[in-house]
Structure 1
Amino acid sequence: MTKLTVKPDVRPANPNFSSGPCAKRPGWSLDQLGDAPLGRSHRAKPGKAKLAEAIALTRKVLQVPEGYRIGIVPASDTGAVEMALWSLLGARGVDMLAWESFGSGWVTDVIKQLRLDNARTLEAPYGQLPDLSAVNFSNDVVFTWNGTTSGVRVPDGDWIPADRDGLTICDATSAAFAQDLPFDKLDVVTFSWQKVLGGEAAHGVLILSPRAVDRLESHTPAWPLPKIFRLTKGGKLIEGIFKGETINTPSMLCVEDYLDALKWADGLGGLEALRGRADANLKVLADWVAATGWVDFLAADPATRSNTSVCLKVIDPEVQALAADAQAAFAKGIVSTLDGEGVAHDIGAYRDAPSGLRIWAGATIETSDLAALTAWLDWAYQSEKAKLAQAA
């Protein structure tokens, strides 16, 4: 590795590398949201038209098949996942897959809150996947497509059979719009606007296959459902939810912001263009990691490395020889230094994850900004090493 004795000359034009809420699209400004019907009811014609347009553009850009319902729901991706778990589970056994904090959170909900005694958990440590061949598709299956806090994603949908008996419930919040989602293998897909498209927080999207709708109309959960979770009435799907008649009041400013991001994405060339941007960003980081001795991916297998939430660990033997809290302090030192320089904000590992770095590389990030960031990462690392030498 080339040793840097001075600060790099080139700074990222946009220092926002947070994994959620994520960077706004290139060229974004508040001025572009002037058409939002603020101060109007979301149930008036202008509001309903905006919500319906958001659903239609979501279908187009994300390539959601006809026959799948798309609904805008409360409480971000978390709300969308919870609606699915509370409304759909209990009809048969369930396999819960977890390899990072959010997947583990869904396990807690199913085991400790819904208290399903026919739930089975398949877990793996950060950086790895559970044994996907061990999944029982006679059960319902709940999993994250892309582990936001571990940087580990499932490689594809080949492990999911087309003739499965149970439903597949997929938390795709940091995968949607950047990774291929085979909808024929997925019965429920959830995401939030704040990830790959850089939208504002607090709203979620729930996508249901015809099989999921059949379950909703034929299965009555054994537990009471709060109003914001109810997707059926009188044993029938509430179709209005999937036409823009939201359960509770959405922010029309956030809807307008989402529309702005969708139109930007559509103008780029849609899903393929978004995925291409994220893949190019991952390549910048992968090339740097390959040429750098002090850092590596947390994801052990290249086939499972995320192209959005890129999680890295410090592998310098001198740092690894330190106590765990000192290793964490070293990584936090890099994060703090770059934040203080205004070069990179919010790139620390998630609080429950192993110590290290987490750099968002989704479609709203410019490849040139990541390229500039790598030199600063090396410089900050060397600065922390110098502090270690002084302390010794």
Structure 2
Amino acid sequence: MIGRSHRSKLGKARLQEVIERSRRVLGVPADYRIGIVPASDTGAVEMALWSLLGPRPVDLLAWESFGEGWVGDVLKQLKLPHARRLAARYGQLPDLGAVDFDHDVVFTWNGTTSGVRVPDGDWVPDGRAGLAICDATSAAFAMDLPWAKLDVVTWSWQKVLGGEAAHGMIVLSARAVERLESYVPPWPLPKIFRMTAGDKLIEGLFEGETINTPSMLAVEDAVDGLKWAESIGGMDGLLARTRANFAAIDRWVAATPWIRFLAERPETRSTTSVCLVFADDWFRGLAPDAQAKAAKDVAAKLEAEGVAFDIGSYRDAPPGLRIWAGATVETADIEALLPWIDWAYAEVRGA
């Protein structure tokens, strides 16, 4: 498809293939719409926020950088008057029992920059009045998503499937479609956010007719990734690989006194974006600037040896390391990495 138009019959068929293979692997219900949208997961989330929010109060959950980003957009850009921020510091979740599901609710399933995830979907009621809008960008294809509990779900090809960024996916329940067809936001809506024409859903958006021009090279890569997922057993295979990767890290942390998970409760620990912090007296005794430098030095030593790349914690997170443990990673590579972290930390501490 390289060099062919995405609007050709073959091009639309390939885009539809991404949609249908995603549906099969993830187990998305038949009555949920799936669309390919611009601007990665960020574009998909913004599309949902700008198109759907407004008719009800909204609860906004935040416990890391991206959740805080959605809070900022709703409060500062959309300026919704009846919006409530429920937040927690890095390493914890907000009180999920405090969420009001008569409101719309916006949350990340897995906090990519904190390594903290919601433990399950049991806290989301089946009989909710509002919409449950979930940013699942580092959870989809690696964690069980209870579709009946979710009305809008977004992700990108970049994360668990290891594809190229710039393309997002959005899933809409029948309740979300009903909201789109019955509600017109009071603010101007950019073209790339529009999912309706008049008062009807633009069905073509969910049948491979994308709003803007996608990279057909990235589409081919996405198809390839989905075929690979199917070849290893679909969601069961993806979950098994991710869990094995996390288990290797979990065993190492349990045996290593100078490091711990940033996520404080075991049931909330991410199995994909595994965030770690240094926990010995030497590190805790450093000034904040020195802690940040020490963590960067550990990551730099690993990169200089060609062992691990981009392994430092996110810029807004506490100083530490972030190991990607999603399904495309081999457990043997995780196991090979961990002694190198021992070495790098000993080098930095002894310097």
Smaller-chain TM-score bracket: over 0.9
Which residue number corresponds to residue 302 of structure 1? Answer: 266
Partner of 2:22: 58
In structure 1, the residue matched to 2:32 is 68
Identical aligned pairs, as a percentage?
A: 68
Deviation at 1:358, TM superposition (A): 0.4
Does residue 114 (structure 1) correspond to residue 81 (structure 2)? The answer is no
Q: Which residue of 2 aligns with 1:243?
A: 207
Question: CA–CA distance in 2 between the matches of 1:256 and 1:299?
Answer: 36
Secondary structure in 1 aligned to 2:73? helix
- The equivalent residue for 1:48 is 12
The one-letter code of the counterpart of 1:205 is M
Tell me which amino acid in the other structure corresponds to 1:164. Answer: R
Q: SS where residue 363 of structure 1 aligns?
A: coil
Residue number in structure 2 paired with 1:214: 178
Match of 1:96 in 2: 60
**Which letter does structure 1 place at the counterpart of 2:102?**
S
Aligned-partner Cα distance in 2 for 1:270–1:111:
39
Query: Counterpart in 1 of 2:280?
Result: 316
Q: Which runs of 5+ in 1 are unaligned?
A: 1-36, 388-392
Work out the CA distance in 1 between the residues paired with 2:339 and 2:2.
44
Alignment counterpart, residue 191 of structure 2, candidates 215, 220, 227? 227
Letter in 2 for 1:180: D
Matches within 5 A, 1:124-273: 124-273=88-237
Deviation at 1:356, TM superposition (A): 0.4
Task: Report what 2:240 is aligned to.
Answer: 276
Q: Which residues in structure 2 correspond to 1:26-41 (within 5 Å)?
A: 37-41=1-5
Compare relative contact order (CA 8 Å, sep 6+) and give the higher one, 1 or 2. Answer: 1
Aligned letter for 1:347?
Answer: I
1:65-96 CA distance string (max 9 Å, x none): 11000000000000000000000000100000
CA deviation after TM superposition for structure 1 residue 40, in Å: 1.4
Letter aligned with residue 136 of structure 1:
D
| Cα deviation code 1:24-82 (max 9, x no counterpart) | xxxxxxxxxxxxx1211101011011001110100000110110000000000000000
State the SS of the aligned residue for 1:205: strand
* 1:293 corresponds to which of 240, 253, 257: 257
Distance (whole Å) between structure 1 residues aligned to residue 45 and residue 304 of structure 2: 36
TM-score (structure 2 length as normaliser):
1.00
Runs of at least 4 residues of structure 1 off by over 4 A?
none
Distance in structure 1 (CA, Å) of the matches to 2:283 and 2:114? 20
Distance in 2, Cα, partners of 1:39 & 1:336: 39
Partner residue in 2 for 1:331: 295
CA distance in 1, matches of 2:80, 2:318: 30
Alignment partner of 1:359: what SS? strand
Q: Which amino acid aligns with 2:85?
A: T
Distance 2:283 2:35 in 1: 47
SS in 1 for 2:211: coil
Deviations 1:168-205 (A, max 9, x none): 00000000000000000000000000000001110000
Correspondence for 1:78: 42
Tell me how far apart the structure 2 counterparts of residues 63 and 49 of structure 1 sit (CA, whole Å): 20
Q: Match of 1:77, SS? A: helix
CA RMSD for the aligned pairs?
A: 0.4
> Match of 1:224, as an amino acid?
P
Distance 2:344 2:35 in 1: 44
What is the Cα deviation at residue 293 of structure 1? 0.9
Q: Which runs of 5+ in 2 are unaligned?
A: none
CA distance in 2, matches of 1:223, 1:107: 18
Q: Give the distance between the partners of 1:353 and 1:63, measured in 2 at CA.
A: 33
Q: TM-score with structure 1 length normalisation?
A: 0.89
Residues 82-136 of structure 1: CA deviation (Å, up to 9, x unaligned):
0000000001000000000000000000000000010000000000000000000
Shift of 1:273: 0.7
Q: Whole-Å Cα distance in 2 between the matches of residues 220 and 89 of structure 1?
A: 10
**Structure 2 partner of 1:358:** 322
SS of the residue 1:276 aligns to: helix
